[in-house]
């Protein structure tokens, strides 16, 4: 499934939910399904800067695609990072760098997050794009 199809599916899933309390429950459920990262990955260098909650984000390159893994100590934040992983993980660096997460506005999430959570979400996206740029640079150099 390409990234546009993933975005359309996310938008459709949120459209099925009646209101924002129901959407928050869904976001939390997404976080509960997130594969845990190993405890040894929960180190300072993997923390996403700019998040009020602790969010650990790791990335590795496999077969030309960036694979993200993450965890958080807060339920909603963990759900948000789970959504971002679903959107960006297992994609080529150029796709990550050139595709904004438009679904955030399409589902109205930006309006329903507290300013600190919204800043944290922006920080997650920024960190994912930094990883993608680093992997793209490594690929170019080799």
CA distance 79 to 119: 15
- CATH architecture for residues 3-141: Alpha-Beta Complex (3.90)
Asked whether residue 136 carries a pLDDT value surpassing 90, the answer given is: yes
* Global confidence as pTM: 0.94
Domain boundaries of the chain, sorted by first residue? 3-141
The catalytic residue positions are: 51
Per-residue tokens: 140: 């170019």
Across the range 4-27, mean pLDDT stands at 96
pLDDT in tens, 85-126: 999 999 999 999 999 999 999 999 988 998 888 999 999 999
Asked whether residue 42 carries a pLDDT value surpassing 80, the answer given is: yes
Phi and psi (nearest 5°) for 68? -100, 145
């Amino acid at each position: 499934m390409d990234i546009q199809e993933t975005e359309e599916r996310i938008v459709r899933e949120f459209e099925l939910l009646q209101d924002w309390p129901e959407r928050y429950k869904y976001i939390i459920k997404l976080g509960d399904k997130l594969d845990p990262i190993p405890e040894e990955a929960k180190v300072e260098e993997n923390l996403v800067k700019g998040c009020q909650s602790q969010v650990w984000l790791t990335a590795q390159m496999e077969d030309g695609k960036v694979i993200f893994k993450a965890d958080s100590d807060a339920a909603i934040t963990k759900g948000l990072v789970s959504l971002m992983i679903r959107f960006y993980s297992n994609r080529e660096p150029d796709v990550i760098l050139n595709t904004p997460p438009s679904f955030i506005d399409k589902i109205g999430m930006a309006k329903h997050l507290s300013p600190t959570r919204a800043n944290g979400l922006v920080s997650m996206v920024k960190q994912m794009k930094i990883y993608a740029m680093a992997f793209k640079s490594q690929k170019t150099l080799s």
